[in-house]
Amino acid sequence: MAALTLHPDRLFPADATTRDIARALYAEVADLPIISPHGHTDPAWFATDAPWDNATELLLAPDHYVFRMLYSQGVDLDALRVPRRDGTPATDPREAWRLFAGNYHLFRGTPSRMWLDHVFAEVFGFDTLLDAANADDYYDRINASLATPAFRPRALFERFDIDFLATTEGADDPLDHHAAIRRSGWRGRVVTTYRPDSVIDPDHEEFRPALARFAELTGEDVESWTGYLAAHRKRRADFRAAGATATDHGFATAQTANLSPAACEALFGRVMAGRADAADAELFRAQMLTEMAKMSVEDGMTMQIHPGACRNHNARLFDSHGRDKGADIPMRTDYVHALKPLLDVVGNEPHLTIILFTLDESTYARELAPLAGHYPCLRLGPSWWFHDSPEAMRRFREMTTETAGFYNSVGFNDDTRAFLSIPARHDVARRIDCSFLARLVAEHRLLDWEAAELAHELTNGLVRKAYGLDAAAPARKAA
């Protein structure tokens, strides 16, 4: 069996001089607490602190990075125990794990391979590489670990030294799990994020049912424009009470609008009456991004915009398994023209923070860095999703720093459902940032003490500022 080793110099420059500088910078930040301000882990894990069932349910079935690759090679999602719309398939979890292990070679050279190897070595203590021959040993040892108190969600949260973790919930979510976390007395800082897409996007398959729940939770008439906006303000207040510091918005485009009140009323009327065509639906999403920005000026919540994904591209897979099953594809994205209506309204607000993400790397130097390098409210989000990888992180820094600088970026967030991979993802980001800084030092473009200061900022400082985390966190106590 092949040995599983994590080389201490992984991802550092090959050049010895630059590598030595990167090592020294990394040593300054390697053990800093993790701040995870945007992700999709399940708050129920931390509310109940119940043990996970098995390796498949934890590491394979929910991770679209993993099963996407397997599906591309002809592996059926049912065989991997990926839940269908109508419930979990009856596939045996051990058989699903064996199938995964037998195809582990498919992940060579990918970020998923780095993250998984990190989890297997650092979290579970494996020293041989996963393959078909040791699949059962892996499965049994992981399951045995998960049955112990040390591997429950709260214990791992503390072991990973997570200072702050944000989940993401819809506007129609009652936030019961977050309330249970607060009632429990556990002091791990797990908060929510306001993601209102399902009640803003008329094309969302849950739009009508979500609106009904939205109305029930707020007591507002959400079929009137004023009542609909009031409902958003109420829910945002509920989310802030549950610890939220940010909102999140993920539409296909970054299009915004700045309509008159009368035009908003008329557009909203067409949407509610079911008479909105495709252009109306796009215009409504665009106007609501501007409305959400105006509300962020009012309540101080950081706004995150995640455009550029053609979601649910595989229609058959969407019909059988639903959203977030690995069939979302990046698209070309315009920011300069799309954001101008919103920026005309709030772009010069110095106390507003809007974080822009992209799946279109071609916009880094041409659009995003110049925009963030000018407008006081704009910041650049880290390499996201398909670009959450070493090479893409390097390209991000290379293409944005000269125009936007470091201080118009926001550090790193892991944007993951795979809880155990959070330390691995942050470790990769820290190594890449330290390597980039080391190159600037080696080229005499940055002083060594400046690089050390920036390493701390890129790891913890900028993210705390961008997401409003400077207020003292509550003291921790053991679960």
Assign domain 17-42+161-466 one CATH number from 3.50.50.60, 3.30.70.1140, 3.20.20.70, 3.20.20.140. Answer: 3.20.20.140
- The answer to which of 198-207, 333-342, 469-478 has the lowest mean pLDDT is 469-478
User: Beta strands 329-330 and 309-310: pairing type?
Assistant: antiparallel
pLDDT of 22 > 80? The answer is yes
Taking the CA atoms of the chain, what radius of gyration do you get in angstroms?
23
What is the domain partition of the chain in residue ranges? 17-42+161-466, 51-151
Nearest CA among 267, 288, 291 for reference residue 279: 267
Average pLDDT, the chain: 95
Which residue matches tokens 């996007």? 201
Average pLDDT over residues 298-307: 97
Is residue 108 classed exposed, middle or buried when 0-12, 13-18 and 19+ CB atoms within 10 A define those classes?
A: exposed
| d(C-alpha 435, C-alpha 12), whole Å | 6
| d(C-alpha 34, C-alpha 189), whole Å | 11
Are 394 and 432 a contacting pair, CB within 8 Å? yes
User: For residue 64, what pLDDT band results from cuts at 50, 70 and 90?
Assistant: confident
Average pLDDT over residues 11-31: 98
pLDDT of 63 > 90? The answer is no
Q: What is the pLDDT of residues 260-277, one digit of tens each?
A: 999 999 999 999 999 999
Q: What is the pLDDT of residues 124-183, one digit of tens each?
A: 999 999 999 999 999 999 999 999 999 999 999 999 999 999 999 999 999 999 999 999
Domain 51-151 has CATH 3.30.300.30: no
Which residue matches tokens 């394979």? 60
pLDDT of 20 > 70? The answer is yes
Structure confidence at residue 318 (pLDDT): 87
User: For residue 479, what pLDDT band results from cuts at 50, 70 and 90?
Assistant: very low
User: For residue 471, what pLDDT band results from cuts at 50, 70 and 90?
Assistant: low
| d(C-alpha 469, C-alpha 462), whole Å | 10
Structure confidence at residue 476 (pLDDT): 36
Structure confidence at residue 89 (pLDDT): 66
Q: What is the pLDDT of residues 78-112, one digit of tens each?
A: 988 888 888 766 689 999 999 999 999 999 999 99
User: Beta strands 302-305 and 329-330: pairing type?
Assistant: unpaired
The percentage of residues in the chain with a pLDDT greater than 90, rounded to a whole number, is 90
pLDDT of 473 > 80? The answer is no
